[in-house]
Amino acid sequence: MNNLLTVEKVRVCYGELEAVRGVSLSLAAGETLGLVGESGCGKSSLGRAILALERIASGKIEFNGTVVSSLKGAALKQFRRQAQMVFQDPFGSLNPRLSVGAAIEEVLFVHGIGGSRAARRERAAALFEDVGLEPDWLSRYPHEFSGGQRQRIGIARALSLEPKLLVADEPVSALDVSVQADIIQLLKRIQRDRGLAYLFVGHDLAVVREMSNRIAVMYKGEIVETGTTDQVCDNPQHAYTQKLLSAVPDIDKAFAQ
């Protein structure tokens, strides 16, 4: 299989603390890999390392045949066009003093896409439409939107550079259940339309299950179990995966007793 992303024995350290301890994984184009674990397990550090937002202590990250950790300058910028991030807290990741249109246009401007200002504006409007927002709202500011709308804005911004990979770090954890379901549907539709690959980072296996083709379970900096979504959720092998599964407040489980 031709992998879009290959992670080999990657370690991320913060001083003495080894947050990611020799993790290997791979991701094919158009595929979703769920990365599950608790706060502090290293899943976000790994996600950030994959996007070259975190320096790796050792190991190798390869994206589309290029080694990410060695990238600098223009090549790094080129890589960033292809691999983007969606954050948990869309409000925290939007500049409150910038209209949301400007926030998207800025990305295009920095990367020299879209040509003229008018063309960039047009592109932002198209992106807005694609994520289910009214293009008229581009002149509004982040505080004028609901949590779910802000996450749509975050997704639109991440899509603006037409990446091949989206790292989504707990993108729905801060949202209401029904909004959560809408955003999950949106992410799935966008994946179908654009053939994007997702690294979907989360702590709730029920949510990760909805999204993923395969799941990797991370615990204390290491991946303790990987498999297809059904394997991991229906027949977990590792004790920690079993613990995670039993912690999910599941409706069916509650009434099965």
Partner 1 sequence: MTTQPEQPLVDVQSLSVHFGSVAEPVRAVDGVDFQIFSGEIVALVGESGSGKSISALALAKLVPEPAGRIVGGSVRFQSLEKQKGAGSACFQGLEVLKLKSSELRKLRGARIAYIFQEPATSLNPVFTIGWQIGEAIRLHRKGVHVKQEVEKLLTSVGLPDPARAAQAYPHELSGGMQQRAMIAMALACNPDLLVADEPTTALDVTVQKQILDLLVELRKTRGLSILLITHNLGIVANVADRVYVMNNGKIVESGDTRTVLLTPQHDYTKKLLKAVPRLHKTA
DSSP β-bridge partners for residue 217: 36, 225
Taking the least distance from each CB to partner 1, the nearer of 37 and 101 is 37
**87 vs 243: CA distance, rounded Å:** 26
Taking the least distance from each CB to partner 1, the nearer of 129 and 250 is 250
Binding-site ranges for partner 1 (CB under 8 A):
38-39, 146-147, 176-181, 184, 203-207, 209-210, 233-234, 243-255
In the complex, minimum distance from the CB of residue 178 to partner 1, in angstroms, rounded to a whole number = 4
In the complex, minimum distance from the CB of residue 234 to partner 1, in angstroms, rounded to a whole number = 7
Taking the least distance from each CB to partner 1, the nearer of 74 and 177 is 177
In the complex, minimum distance from the CB of residue 171 to partner 1, in angstroms, rounded to a whole number = 13
In the complex, minimum distance from the CB of residue 239 to partner 1, in angstroms, rounded to a whole number = 13
Residue with token string 């090549």:
75
Q: Is the dihedral of CA 220, 221, 226, 229 positive or negative?
A: positive
Give the contacts of 38 (CB within 8 A, at least 6 positions apart). Answer: 203, 219, 244
In the complex, minimum distance from the CB of residue 206 to partner 1, in angstroms, rounded to a whole number = 4
Q: Let me know: does 113 contact 161? Beta carbons within 8 Å.
A: yes
Taking the least distance from each CB to partner 1, the nearer of 93 and 229 is 229
Residues written for the chain: 257
Locate 23 and state its tokens: 């993790």
**116 vs 100: CA distance, rounded Å:** 18
Taking the least distance from each CB to partner 1, the nearer of 102 and 224 is 224
In the complex, minimum distance from the CB of residue 212 to partner 1, in angstroms, rounded to a whole number = 12
- Rounded to the nearest 10 degrees, what angle do helices 147-159 and 117-130 cross at? 130
Q: For residue 116, what is the DSSP state?
A: S
Q: Let me know: does 19 contact 44? Beta carbons within 8 Å.
A: no
Taking the least distance from each CB to partner 1, the nearer of 93 and 160 is 93
